[in-house]
C-alpha cells in the first residue's frame, strides 16, 4: 500500500474527522489508559519487566498499544509511555518506586534549582519513544490513527517541585506564588522541551496529540490566567500546524473557557461536568472529548448502557464529539465491560444517525 493511500485511510477515520468537527457515521471512541493493568495481556508483559523498562522498550510498547486497540475495537490507539519520561533528559532524577509511584529525588524547590532543568535541544535521549511511535504506526491497521502525548507544563512543573504525587500541591503552588520569575523560567523550559518532544512524535508518525494537564484543576481561574495561560498559548503556537491536538485536564469545570483560549482543537471533559452544558460554554470552535465516569465501568451492564447513552444524547450527534472516559481506565475494571462500552457507543451512535 502506498504512503498516500495509508495516510488517506487514517485521515478519513471517524476520530480524525471528529477532531476537525466534521460529521461522522459513528461516534469515535477511545479510552485513556486503554493499555493498562486491567488487561491480562498487559499484566503478562509487566510480569517480566518494570514499568520504566516497558516504556523504554519499543517492541513491548508496540505490543501493549496495538493489543489494546485491537482487543477493544477502539477508533484510535494512544502511544504507551508516561508523561514524566521527559523529565529525565531535563536533569531530574526520576524513579518509579514500587508501591509509591513516581519519585523525583532532586526536586525543584528554590530559584537556583531551576538551573537543573537542562534545555532539550535534541530528542535523542527520548529516541526510544520515537522508535515506539514508528513501530506502533507500522503495526496498526492503516485506518487507525495513533495519538502521541505529553504532560502539560503545569503538571510537569508540579511533579518537579513536589517530587512526586500530592493532594494539595502546597509545595508547587507556594513556589509559584513566592517567586513568579522562577516559576516562569521553569515553565518556559518545560514549554520548549515539550514542543520539541511532541513535534518529534508527529514526525515519527503520530496523527494526533494529547496534552495531559492532570493537575491544573487545582488552580483558580485567576491563577490559571496568571501562571499557566501564557505558557500554554506559547506551547500550542510551537506545535506542528494541522495536527489535531486534544487539551485535557481533570476537575477543570471552572477553567474550560480558559483552556479553550489556551489552545487545542479538542477540549477533554471529565465526568464532573455535563457534556452538553460544557460544550455550550466552549462554543462552536472546538470539539469535545468525554466524559463517562471511569467507575461506571464497574456497574451492571444496564447501568453502563444508560450512562453511555446519556453522554451520547447530550452530544446529540453534533459533529466533533469523541467518546471517552473522564479519566483513565482503573486497574481492576472488567475487560468485558470495556469491550461492551465500545460496542455500545458504536451501535447506538450509528442508529441515532440512521436516516428516517
Which residues are the active-site residues? Answer: 33, 37, 46, 82, 159
Phi-psi region of 312 (alpha: psi -120 to 50; beta: other; left: phi over 0): alpha
Peptide bond before 291: cis, by omega within 30 degrees of 0? yes
How far is Cα 171 from Cα 109, in angstroms, rounded to an integer? Answer: 8
- Helix, strand, or coil here: 240? coil
How far is Cα 356 from Cα 353, in angstroms, rounded to an integer? Answer: 9
**Cβ–Cβ contacts within 10 Å for residue 79, how many?**
25
- Residue located via cell numbers 466533533: 320
**Cβ–Cβ contacts within 10 Å for residue 297, how many?**
25
How far is Cα 30 from Cα 27, in angstroms, rounded to an integer? Answer: 10
How far is Cα 145 from Cα 206, in angstroms, rounded to an integer? Answer: 7
Amino acid at each position: 500500500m502506498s504512503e498516500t493511500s495509508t495516510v488517506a485511510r487514517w485521515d478519513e477515520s471517524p476520530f480524525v474527522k471528529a477532531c476537525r468537527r466534521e460529521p461522522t457515521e459513528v461516534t469515535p471512541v477511545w479510552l485513556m489508559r486503554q493499555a493498562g493493568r486491567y488487561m491480562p495481556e498487559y499484566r503478562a508483559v509487566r510480569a517480566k519487566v518494570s514499568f520504566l523498562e516497558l516504556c523504554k522498550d519499543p517492541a513491548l510498547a508496540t505490543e501493549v498499544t496495538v493489543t489494546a486497540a485491537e482487543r477493544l475495537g477502539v477508533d484510535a490507539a494512544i502511544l504507551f509511555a508516561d508523561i514524566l519520561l521527559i523529565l529525565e533528559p531535563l536533569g531530574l532524577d526520576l524513579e518509579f518506586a514500587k508501591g509509591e509511584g513516581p519519585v523525583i529525588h532532586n526536586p525543584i524547590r528554590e530559584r537556583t534549582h531551576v538551573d537543573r532543568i537542562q534545555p532539550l535541544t535534541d530528542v535523542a535521549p527520548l529516541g526510544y519513544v520515537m522508535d515506539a511511535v514508528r513501530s506502533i504506526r507500522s503495526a496498526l491497521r492503516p485506518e487507525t490513527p495513533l495519538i502521541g502525548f505529553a504532560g502539560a507544563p503545569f503538571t510537569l512543573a508540579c511533579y518537579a517541585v513536589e517530587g512526586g504525587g500530592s493532594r494539595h500541591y502546597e509545595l508547587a503552588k507556594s513556589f509559584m506564588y513566592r517567586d513568579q520569575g522562577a516559576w516562569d523560567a521553569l515553565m518556559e523550559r518545560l514549554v520548549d522541551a515539550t514542543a520539541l518532544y511532541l513535534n518529534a512524535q508527529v514526525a515519527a508518525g503520530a496523527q494526533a496529540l494529547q496534552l495531559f494537564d492532570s493537575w491544573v484543576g487545582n488552580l483558580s481561574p485567576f491563577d490559571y490566567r496568571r501562571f499557566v495561560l501564557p505558557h500554554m498559548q506559547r506551547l500550542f503556537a510551537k506545535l506542528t500546524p494541522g495536527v489535531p491536538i486534544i487539551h485535557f485536564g481533570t476537575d477543570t469545570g471552572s477553567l474550560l473557557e480558559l483552556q479553550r483560549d489556551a489552545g487545542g482543537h479538542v477540549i477533554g471533559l471529565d465526568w464532573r461536568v455535563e457534556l452538553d452544558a460544557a460544550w455550550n460554554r466552549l462554543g462552536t470552535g472546538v470539539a469535545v472529548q468525554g466524559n463517562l465516569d471511569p467507575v461506571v465501568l464497574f456497574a451492571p451492564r444496564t447501568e453502563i448502557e444508560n450512562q453511555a447513552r446519556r453522554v451520547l444524547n447530550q452530544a446529540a450527534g453534533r459533529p466533533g464529539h469523541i467518546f471517552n472516559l473522564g479519566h483513565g481506565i482503573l486497574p481492576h475494571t472488567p475487560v468485558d465491560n470495556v469491550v461492551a462500552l465500545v460496542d455500545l457507543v458504536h451501535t447506538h451512535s450509528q442508529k441515532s444517525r440512521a436516516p428516517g
